[in-house]
Structure 1
């Protein structure tokens, strides 16, 4: 096996949450919740309570501790309180005296076991820690730069835990780390500005950092204590230490820290919107124990920093989004005033170049390339369009490493290492492109990022942690500045604006309309086949099932009764799907009966229906301004019922679900917004939002057919309007519907 073929992912497969041992400074028991019988114990437990692990396994706590100075009654009472409250976080730590020495007990429950971990009570200074926390809070609230906040956080954590070095370590998009703040002792070399490869903190370790926000390694030179299990415990169910404070350390990581001359380390997670943004990474050259209260104080300081990160990032995103939306509105007005697509997008004071922070933009329309700013040449843009068409690109594509996806782009990386593109018409090869120039980075790594591969005495290959952390410089090419969410949201809206004008200009000669008409005809034929060929047998299945259930239900066992009910429920879902397909098909040929619609009455009726079905949960639907619209009443009811029902469905996981509807009258159009605080979605999947039978990944656990939004889009198009949206994962979704304020046909 050569280095080129060696599997470099073995670090990521190491089961670090079930290493089977704990750090030697503490002690562990795991008990069953109902009987408090001991099923796991650390091998060193005798040092705490005077009995070996073998003697304790299988015994209930009161019997196991009968000869120990640790009070069994006090311990059981503490466990009872935790079980009744169904939470241990507010109870940890609990101090217990054993043989005249105080110990902190930290408890958690995981995978059907209660895990008890004892560690020493340290000599922490509560008053000083509280003062440092208060200073950190004041600092976060003050108007400071982010770099100041990061640096002062590192200094405060260092004061709390007393380590030699504290770094703030930010993860880059490829998960390699970058030291952006540091507080250290004067005699140590600085790591400020250095980069650490992603393999230094493998994927499964990053996942644990999201769950267990503080991780202490008190002494890398100590021998861990094994976890023993009662004899009849299944071998395939080792104790999961995901939430443990004493979890032992991977031998690979111990070797890594030793190579850094580190004998104690501590990491505190920095989170942003539920994801790991970075770490506060702490190193000490000699063993050092930090007790639970001090770790919690350091954790609180880092959480203040996480809050500041989220606030500042959200503030920045909103500012950018407002700027791009304003430019998008200018472009929209230009499109309405002058329906020459090319002139409106490329030859006016505000152009497509102003829709992002890109360094260049291009429009490929009616066979001609129109370029703005710094872009590839015409032939290179045409080649890029051909590649997108061949690779079945969705309506939007974004990348900050285009040459890695499309090798010919390496020739023009100086102007186009990053690409954001939208499809106007795949059949007619019409696109809008935005480019970002290559950002050549000179990255200084903490040692060569490539791990050396060693051969053991038995001939086995293994990755060895780096032995040198001296600065190692590398030039990174083929990448650009990343595309922001605000930029993607802006071009999603622009695409709808442009397509609205294109639709108005379309005629029978255009290939797109021909193919769309063929698809509609085929869908009509399919839907009628479904209607006539499936409805009758489906009704028979339901009818016969109901008869069998009614006539023989009392003779059937519960499982058979449940199966009959499932058959009935499935036929009802199938009938609903058929109705949706038929409605979608018939919209293409149904004449519009447009009239002025009282939206207040319409929306209140829909709200009442939704609230009846959602009576068992907390749901608030607020209706703001309701200017009238001119539309077909039946289709308008279907349109807003689908949007509001979706909002209600995807807020089911929220304790307090909130939906807001508001209308706004402007020149020539009425715009309604429907906003919710539900699960949201990744804007990278925006291209499939209105596709028939397509559902987004995070919505698959919710019941649905994938037809509702396709119906919504078709209704809007029939009325000469447009629909767009903006969303963020776990932060809700906003849909916007624009309909003309005058009658259309």
Structure 2
């Protein structure tokens, strides 16, 4: 036999899911079916077993009207026609189900519905064994019992018990679907001699996708006898549509051969399933099995359908009640996080540094925030390297709003290495462009799952090479250990994470808006500062010049007539005006430092430093001062600002070394891989390193500088200039021995200058 692995691989659950079970072209043979047009009630399709009930062949019915069945069949065609007219006109056809009709001395339940552009009439014999009065009593008892159940387990068991009383099946199970659509028996009531199925799991392929969809539209499904041959519909193709009639809502629809084989392998000859819904989706099934054929009357089926609907409502109530406390708790935590982020517009601090953190909005045991280039972790998390790798992988995953999984290693194999702390992942992207994410982790929960037989389907390869999945033949307990799996994320956890994502993005947007407003205010402040600078330079300096000029004139004209004290006072006035002028000039330089654009170019430091040395020696003439200029590598910077840096450093070195005999200043530069560093060293009064935090503060002077003129602005200007150049300034000193200031200018490639 020739076959390839690709074909073998394709023989999976999807083969079952592609089976068109809603158009089988056949019905179960315990009843019969007629399909008529909704306008003139012409019969367009009939089940071939109609002869057993009406003594007429199916092909003889096609094209005739219901009224024509009056003669010889004892069929109340005219009554049915009137019934259909009323039901269709009032759009209440299904509310009249079942309609009791008698044919050949036998009572039938007629169940009708309109679908696929046809009125479908299904006839089932009435089962005498179902007493109506007894059924009402059992139904009332069932409703009372279910209503009185106080816990989820008790609710499910009581529902199964009541369904067994109504239907008489050997076994009634409550079957719950898990997120991956495999099922688990969570409640069971059975005959004593039967092997228990409680706690067993069944793979998703046992009830494929299209079957689950039909359970949502047709809530009760009954199979009366797996050994009874089906009855085909005639004609095979429905009207002119080139396909069989859609029997999605039919109560007689034939069963998939694969499912019949499945039931036979279980030793089941009759079954019934009732859908259990939660918020519009299939939560599970009430599954009934019988070892012998068993037909349940339509009225009894509707009774258990009512039980199923009541149980669905109770499930929703109990589940909501259980989740409500947890949901309320994590929602309140989410609101607290939002408030914390708003306190100072700090996302990281708001999520990680208060009493309530990002770990309080779900049941995760670890969390990681990568924001603005920094990674912050909480609780038990993978290593930083593993988290960065995970974030890189998420970049290639479709995660517009969130990503969640409870078995991360299946989707991201490297996660197997840290599954102990992160088998479950919930991630929300904050900015995919900037690679910013908030992640939560759940640890691995190794546990055993008991399957009803090996969940892997057997693959049969026929002589013609076709491949078919065969239902399991053994349902013996088969235990599987599940690894690399975490507790699933609850809907409330995902919803709260999404809400937090919106809160974070809101804070980011609001912070950006605040920055924009601050920028606008800063622009206005700069304009006001320019006006202030003009006022300082014009309105303040003019009176100072006048004071100085008059003082100099008085001292020159009348100085000889003054005594020594008077001359000294006038000299102090003149010096004070000079200091005031210097202070005003320095304030103006400092205020404009942040506004001027950088004109970056290579500065010839040898030329600049030698010129500054000459200026300094002229200013300090009459005292022993030596200035050594050693290596002078060029620096990349604004020439005017670089001049200000070294002018301030040299003038400070000269000023604070006046008491030294002789005073020596040494300027030296060197280049390393990243920057150009210059040092300016003097042998002056030095700095107490305990006061080093005040050195670069504006208008702050140290304790040992009181006798030396100064205003505490020069080094602040140096600090600001170096910050604008993305450089550094620092110093070391020994009081009364030496002080060395260092400035470092980063390398700037010529191509990047002034871009």
TM-score w.r.t. structure 2 length? 0.65
Match of 1:5 in 2: 9
Q: Separation in 2 of the partners of 1:135 and 1:369? A: 61
Deviation for aligned residue 1:30? 0.8
Match of 2:173 in 1: 167
Deviation for aligned residue 1:338? 4.4
Work out whether 1:377 is the aligned partner of 2:386: no
Match of 2:151 in 1: 145
Q: Separation in 2 of the partners of 1:231 and 1:145? A: 51
The change in CA–CA distance for 1:339 and 1:73 in structure 2 (over 3 A counts) is closer
Counterparts of 1:660-675 in structure 2, within 5 Å, are none
The change in CA–CA distance for 1:102 and 1:391 in structure 2 (over 3 A counts) is closer
CA deviation profile, 1:711-737 (whole Å, cap 9, x unmatched): xxxxxxxxxxxxxxxxxxxxxxxxxxx
SS in 2 for 1:371: strand
Deviation for aligned residue 1:509? 11
Match of 2:29 in 1: 24
The change in CA–CA distance for 1:430 and 1:5 in structure 2 (over 3 A counts) is closer
Q: Separation in 2 of the partners of 1:35 and 1:507? A: 69
Match of 2:494 in 1: 488
Residue 85 of structure 1, aligned match among 90, 115, 119:
90
Q: Separation in 2 of the partners of 1:343 and 1:375? A: 19
Deviation for aligned residue 1:219? 0.4
Q: Separation in 2 of the partners of 1:233 and 1:79? A: 20
Match of 2:589 in 1: none
Residue 286 of structure 1, aligned match among 263, 273, 292:
292
Match of 2:302 in 1: 296
Residue 62 of structure 2, aligned match among 57, 62, 81:
57
Deviation for aligned residue 1:480? 1.7
Question: Is the 2:201–2:449 Cα contact (8 Å) retained in structure 1?
Answer: yes
Q: Separation in 2 of the partners of 1:436 and 1:67? A: 73
Would you say how many aligned residue pairs link Structure 1 and Structure 2? 511
Match of 1:404 in 2: 410
Deviation for aligned residue 1:100? 1.4
Deviation for aligned residue 1:54? 1.8
Question: Is the 1:39–1:230 Cα contact (8 Å) retained in structure 2?
Answer: no
Question: Is the 2:237–2:244 Cα contact (8 Å) retained in structure 1?
Answer: no
Question: Is the 1:196–1:445 Cα contact (8 Å) retained in structure 2?
Answer: yes
Counterparts of 1:64-143 in structure 2, within 5 Å, are 64-122=69-127, 123-142=129-148
Deviation for aligned residue 1:368? 3.0
The change in CA–CA distance for 1:501 and 1:106 in structure 2 (over 3 A counts) is closer
Match of 2:40 in 1: 35
SS in 1 for 2:96: coil
The change in CA–CA distance for 1:218 and 1:339 in structure 2 (over 3 A counts) is same
The change in CA–CA distance for 1:283 and 1:392 in structure 2 (over 3 A counts) is closer
Match of 1:358 in 2: 364
Q: Separation in 1 of the partners of 2:18 and 2:397? A: 32
Counterparts of 1:313-332 in structure 2, within 5 Å, are 313-332=319-338
Deviation for aligned residue 1:108? 1.0
Q: Separation in 1 of the partners of 2:238 and 2:443? A: 63
The change in CA–CA distance for 1:250 and 1:231 in structure 2 (over 3 A counts) is closer
CA deviation profile, 1:271-304 (whole Å, cap 9, x unmatched): 1111111111111000000010000001111110
Q: Separation in 2 of the partners of 1:99 and 1:202? A: 41
CA deviation profile, 1:336-361 (whole Å, cap 9, x unmatched): 33444433322221111111111111
Counterparts of 1:505-544 in structure 2, within 5 Å, are 506=512
Q: Separation in 1 of the partners of 2:510 and 2:32? A: 74
Question: Is the 1:42–1:227 Cα contact (8 Å) retained in structure 2?
Answer: yes
Deviation for aligned residue 1:251? 1.1
CA deviation profile, 1:101-147 (whole Å, cap 9, x unmatched): 11111111111111111111112132333233323333343351111
CA deviation profile, 1:4-24 (whole Å, cap 9, x unmatched): 434222211111111111111
Match of 1:343 in 2: 349
CA deviation profile, 1:243-279 (whole Å, cap 9, x unmatched): 1111111111111111111111111111111111111
Work out whether 1:275 is the aligned partner of 2:281: yes
Match of 2:270 in 1: 264
Q: Separation in 1 of the partners of 2:106 and 2:387? A: 74
Question: Is the 1:136–1:304 Cα contact (8 Å) retained in structure 2?
Answer: no
Match of 2:604 in 1: none
Counterparts of 1:391-430 in structure 2, within 5 Å, are 391=397, 393-430=399-436
Question: Is the 1:57–1:230 Cα contact (8 Å) retained in structure 2?
Answer: no
Work out whether 1:189 is the aligned partner of 2:174: no
Match of 2:232 in 1: 226
CA deviation profile, 1:541-589 (whole Å, cap 9, x unmatched): xxxxxxxxxxxxxxxxxxxxxxxxxxxxxxxxxxxxxxxxxxxxxxxxx
Match of 1:644 in 2: none
Deviation for aligned residue 1:367? 3.1
Residue 442 of structure 1, aligned match among 426, 444, 448:
448
The change in CA–CA distance for 1:43 and 1:395 in structure 2 (over 3 A counts) is closer
Match of 2:654 in 1: none
Considering only CA atoms, is the larger Rg found in Structure 1 or Structure 2? Answer: 2
CA deviation profile, 1:346-398 (whole Å, cap 9, x unmatched): 22211111111111112223433222221111111111122223446324222
Question: Is the 2:44–2:238 Cα contact (8 Å) retained in structure 1?
Answer: no
Q: Separation in 2 of the partners of 1:498 and 1:475? A: 40
Deviation for aligned residue 1:232? 9.5
Deviation for aligned residue 1:427? 3.8
SS in 2 for 1:90: helix
Counterparts of 1:574-585 in structure 2, within 5 Å, are none
Deviation for aligned residue 1:476? 2.0
Question: Is the 1:49–1:65 Cα contact (8 Å) retained in structure 2?
Answer: no
The change in CA–CA distance for 1:121 and 1:508 in structure 2 (over 3 A counts) is closer
- Unaligned 5+ segments in structure 1 are 514-745
Q: Separation in 1 of the partners of 2:513 and 2:81? A: 80
SS in 2 for 1:492: helix
Match of 2:393 in 1: 387
CA deviation profile, 1:682-728 (whole Å, cap 9, x unmatched): xxxxxxxxxxxxxxxxxxxxxxxxxxxxxxxxxxxxxxxxxxxxxxx
Q: Separation in 2 of the partners of 1:462 and 1:429? A: 46
Q: Separation in 1 of the partners of 2:55 and 2:364? A: 69
Q: Separation in 2 of the partners of 1:16 and 1:392? A: 33
Match of 2:49 in 1: 44
CA deviation profile, 1:170-224 (whole Å, cap 9, x unmatched): 1111111111111111111111111111111111111111111101100001111
Match of 1:665 in 2: none
Q: Separation in 2 of the partners of 1:87 and 1:306? A: 25
Q: Separation in 2 of the partners of 1:261 and 1:201? A: 18
CA deviation profile, 1:290-319 (whole Å, cap 9, x unmatched): 010000001111110101112223334443
Deviation for aligned residue 1:482? 2.0
The change in CA–CA distance for 1:55 and 1:497 in structure 2 (over 3 A counts) is closer
Q: Separation in 1 of the partners of 2:397 and 2:299? A: 55
Match of 2:250 in 1: 244
SS in 1 for 2:268: coil
Task: Report the aligned-residue RMSD.
Answer: 2.3
